[in-house]
Structure 1
Amino acid sequence: MLTRVAIYEGTIEAGREDEFFARVKSELEPMWRKFPQVTAVRVLRTTQADADARPTPMILEMDFPSMAAIEAALKSDILPKAHQATLEVMKLFKGRFYHLVMESTSLTPDSSS
């Protein structure tokens, strides 16, 4: 499985955090869930961070079965719509977002201790 990760590095306009996340939920999440071949979508909202961490209020994770599936999703008609909607929501955000494609391995906890 591959996960396409979007890192939102920066800050949300002070006092507008709830508005930002409400718009993510109502405007962006429905589009993200429509990407072809996406098998899971996770929106992570930072609740606590190390003192020296870069400000990252949100991370988006989208799982796909293969790189070909990611490439197909990026060529789909959903992408330009999702990108435009993201730019609108980002008007409440000062910073940048960028993407990574990650291969993941799930480990079960060791409960022997």
Structure 2
Amino acid sequence: MIIRQAFFEGTIHAGKEDAFRAYVAETLMPMWLAFPGIKEVRVLYNFERDEGAPSYPMVLSTMYESRETLAAALASPVRSESREATKGLLALFDGHIHHHVFDLAHG
């Protein structure tokens, strides 16, 4: 399995945490769940971290069967739509997003 994670590094605007979560749940999650070939979507919200660690208030984790399935999902029209819709989320956030792709070890 292939895991792609989007790390939201930065901070949600003060007092906008509920609006941020609602936007993810109501606007973005339906799009992410519609990615072709997607096996799983998880949204992780941080509530604690080590002292001095960078701030990741949210991590989006998605799972695919293969690298080819991931590539097809990233090339899909719904992915383009979700990227456009993410601009609304970024209006509530100061920071940047970076992506990492992992091979899920079985054991």
Q: TM-score with structure 1 length normalisation?
A: 0.91
Map of 1:12 onto structure 2: 12
Give the number of the structure whose alpha-carbon radius of gyration is greater: 1
Amino acid at match of 2:64: F
Amino acid at match of 1:14: A
Map of 1:81 onto structure 2: 81
Question: Aligned partners of 1:95 and 1:84: how far apart in 2?
Answer: 17
1:88 to partner: Cα distance = 1.2
Q: Percent identity?
A: 38
The aligned length equals 107
Q: How does 1:66-105 map to 2 (within 5 A)?
A: 66-105=66-105
Q: TM-score with structure 2 length normalisation?
A: 0.96
1:106 to partner: Cα distance = 4.7
Map of 2:28 onto structure 1: 28
Secondary structure of 1:39 counterpart: strand
* Structure 1 unaligned regions, length at least 5: 108-113
Question: Aligned partners of 1:79 and 1:40: how far apart in 2?
Answer: 15
Question: Could you report, residue by residue, the CA deviation over 1:8-64 in whole angstroms, capped at 9, with x for unpaired residues?
Answer: 000000011111111111010110000000000000000111111101000000000
* Structure 2 unaligned regions, length at least 5: none
